[in-house]
Amino acid sequence: MADFQYYTPTRVAFGRGGPEKTGALAKQAGAHKVLLHYGGGSAVRSGVLARVEASLRAAGIEVVTLGGAVPNPRLSLVREGIALCLREGVDLLVAVGGGSTIDSAKAMAYGAAEPDKDVWELYEHTRRPAACLPLGAVVTIAAAGSEMSDSSVITKDEGGVKRGCNSDLCRPRFAVMDPELTLTLPAYQTACGCTDIMMHTMERYFVSGPTMQLTDALAEGLLRTVMANARVLQDDPQNYDARAEVLWASSLSHNGLTGCGITQSDFACHGLEHELGGRYDIAHGAGLAAVWGSWARYVYRDCLPRFAQFAVRVMGVPDAGGAQATALRGIETLESFFRSIGMPTSLRELGITPTEADLDALARGCALAAGGKKGSARVLYEADMRAIYAMAR
Ligand code: NZQ
Ligand code: ZN
């Protein structure tokens, strides 16, 4: 196993009545004036936003609100939020929503903490963040895991350039995780979320180099649990316990726990998806499902023992007469699972029919964002990325 550091500074308040806990948590984080950030309106319609605001005010905290974060959150709104934070003297941001809203708040928190600098430089990787306002999250969808992650992903409006910035500075001070808040999710968003949760662990599982038995056991258990409960939620979307299982999995899958003891995670599928998300504005989880099978078939020979182990321990595939056949059976079985929960397994099913020139542009953008190469199961260069996009058509 490899040496590692594990850093999770986020206080988690898990369970029913979450919105009412927000005021005390914000107070504990030292807040006097909060920017309450939300998305396209689901939190207004469900009443969650009003409950959070009431809790903050009851704790004696002033509140300014800003809605409008969209899936693949935009830089233009981030800039608006930074200006609002500075004008109002905000000292804590609270995001009510999913990865998009939390990431948008993280970018605002970076920008407001270093107001003389352009926040986009952090996402272009021409500068590292030196400061970030504190933030908290009230999670309404089990998916991205941004409530405990070090990551924030923003899309620049012009040209649809989607880029991520990773730093411990943006890890939320607290996360309110109330499974009841996720009961209003449409089936498609539930499935997208479960796919993304699985992918965050799989990006740390399909690696070359040393691994760790305990981490493997945690990862495999998490993946089996998410699949089982994604199936339950298809037929019974109001099932509180199933919602709770996937909600907690969303945090554990992306807070570093399922990556302890490995040298380097893979995250090639995320790189491939981010390029698609920026250009075609698709749901993140669906984009991951659409490329995963093609990526897996392209790289599995370079990471054969891991793919064979995954097939047996996670997908429940019996030994198919050798590692290669078993690994391939595992890939097919996961693709079948994705289809069974309504996820696409090709770009066409995602509604994208890229031309040859589009494939060139996607691969160029993906390679550029990654600094030329990406991956651990197999290191991918621009030509490899293009080949995978072409396979995924
Ligand atoms: O905007 P509203 O109206 O709230 O609607 C949202 C949105 O349309 C809706 N929704 C959320 N909670 C709901 C609900 N609808 C009904 N009831 C509820 N309780 O769901 C839709 C998707 O929301 P979004 O926040 O976009 O979902 P998700 O959490 O999947 O976030 C996706 C974004 O996170 C990034 C992705 O790239 C994408 O931009 N990621 C962020 C990561 C991170 N910061 O660590 C890691 C991920 O790998 C990912 O890249
Ligand atoms: Zn993801």
Where does 183-392 sit in CATH, by number?
A: 1.20.1090.10
Question: With a 6 A CB cut-off, is 181 part of the ligand 1 pocket?
Answer: yes
CA 149, CA 251: separation in Å to the nearest integer? Answer: 8
CA 270, CA 292: separation in Å to the nearest integer? Answer: 9
Question: With a 6 A CB cut-off, is 104 part of the ligand 1 pocket?
Answer: no
pLDDT in tens, 220-253: 999 999 999 999 999 999 999 999 999 999 999 9
Ligand 1 atom having least distance to the Cα of 149: 45
Mean pLDDT of 306-333: 96
Question: With a 6 A CB cut-off, is 152 part of the ligand 1 pocket?
Answer: yes
Question: With a 6 A CB cut-off, is 71 part of the ligand 1 pocket?
Answer: yes
* Ligand 1 pocket test, candidate residues 48, 141, 243, 269, most atoms within 8 A of CB: 141
Give the confidence band of 191 by pLDDT, cuts at 50, 70, 90. Answer: very high
pLDDT in tens, 28-83: 999 999 999 999 999 999 999 999 999 999 999 999 999 999 999 999 999 999 99
Mean pLDDT of 315-328: 94
For residue 184, the model assigns a pLDDT of 97
Question: With a 6 A CB cut-off, is 166 part of the ligand 1 pocket?
Answer: no
Q: What residue owns the CA closest to ligand 1's atom 22?
A: 71
Where does 11-181 sit in CATH, by number?
A: 3.40.50.1970
Q: Name the pTM for this structure.
A: 0.98
CA 372, CA 182: separation in Å to the nearest integer? Answer: 38
Ligand 2 center to residue 253 CA distance, Å? Answer: 10
Mean pLDDT of 202-221: 97
Evaluate if residue 24 carries a pLDDT over 90: yes
pLDDT in tens, 291-305: 999 999 999 999 999
CA 389, CA 135: separation in Å to the nearest integer? Answer: 37
Judged by its nearest atom, the ligand closest to the C-alpha of residue 143 is 1
Question: With a 6 A CB cut-off, is 251 part of the ligand 1 pocket?
Answer: no
**Is the Cα torsion angle 147, 151, 362, 335 positive or negative in sign?**
negative
Contacts of 159 (CB under 8 A, 6+ apart): none
Judged by its nearest atom, the ligand closest to the C-alpha of residue 288 is 2
Evaluate if residue 320 carries a pLDDT over 90: no
Give the confidence band of 215 by pLDDT, cuts at 50, 70, 90. Answer: very high
Ligand 2 center to residue 226 CA distance, Å? Answer: 15
pLDDT in tens, 340-383: 999 999 999 999 999 999 999 999 999 999 999 999 999 999 99
For residue 319, the model assigns a pLDDT of 83
Q: What residue owns the CA closest to ligand 1's atom 48?
A: 144
Beta bridge partners of 94: 36, 136
Question: With a 6 A CB cut-off, is 269 part of the ligand 1 pocket?
Answer: no
Q: Do domains 11-181 and 183-392 have the same CATH topology?
A: no
Question: With a 6 A CB cut-off, is 99 part of the ligand 1 pocket?
Answer: yes
Task: Write out the chain in H/E/C secondary structure.
Answer: CCCCCCCCCCEEEECCCHHHHHHHHHHHCCCCEEEEEECCCHHHHCCHHHHHHHHHHHCCCEEEEECCCCCCCEHHHHHHHHHHHHHHCCCEEEEEECHHHHHHHHHHHHHHHCCCCCCHHHHHCCCCCCCCCCEEEEECCCCCCCCCCCEEEEEECHHHEEEEEECHHHCCCEEEECHHHHCCCCHHHHHHHHHHHHHHHHHHHCCCCCCCHHHHHHHHHHHHHHHHHHHHHHHCCCCHHHHHHHHHHHHHCCCCHHHCCCCCCCCHHHHHHHHHHHHHCCCHHHHHHHHHHHHHHHHHHHHHHHHHHHHHHCCCCCCCCCHHHHHHHHHHHHHHHHHHCCCCCCCCCCCCCCCHHHHHHHHHHHHHHCCCCECCCCCECHHHHHHHHHHCC
Domain locations in the chain as residue ranges: 11-181, 183-392
Give the confidence band of 271 by pLDDT, cuts at 50, 70, 90. Answer: very high
Question: With a 6 A CB cut-off, is 265 part of the ligand 1 pocket?
Answer: no
* Ligand 1 pocket test, candidate residues 51, 96, 100, 108, most atoms within 8 A of CB: 100
